[in-house]
Amino acid sequence: MTTAPSTLEIEALAAEIGENIYIDVAKWRLYLAEAHLHLPLAERLYPLLQDENVTPAGIRQVLGEISVSLGGGQRQLTLGELIPTEVQGRLLTLLEDYQAR
């Protein structure tokens, strides 16, 4: 049985994600903290850490479930479509390092 994460744990993970992970829009790097997407992503990824299920497939699934509105809501894309593949790999490493603590 897993315990509920504290707000501080999720916020710490969110801070790391926000500073290191970005979406790519027309070759501009918009870090998730600037886009206010780091906390929702951390909340969705945290259960993977508790279940020791941090895998590329698990991360891709979570990224595919989070929609981002573009153009004032004219279009929706997922984080999986907006975060470059190499940055998704960096997210995997970040989560593995976080889990190892």
C-alpha distance from residue 50 to each of 29, 32, 46, 71, 78 (Å): 30, 22, 7, 36, 24
Residue 1 pLDDT level (bands cut at 50, 70, 90):
very low
Q: How many domains does the chain contain in total?
A: 1
Round to the nearest angstrom and report the end-to-end CA distance of the chain. Answer: 20
Instruction: Output the pTM of the full model.
Output: 0.89
Inside any domain, residue 2: no
Query: How does pLDDT run across 33-75, given as a tens digit for each residue?
Result: 999 999 999 999 999 998 877 999 999 999 999 999 999 999 9
Inside any domain, residue 11: yes
Q: 91: domain range?
A: 7-100
Of 45, 16, 49, 48, give the one whose Cα is nearest residue 33. 16
Inside any domain, residue 57: yes
Q: What is the pLDDT of residue 58?
A: 94
Inside any domain, residue 53: yes
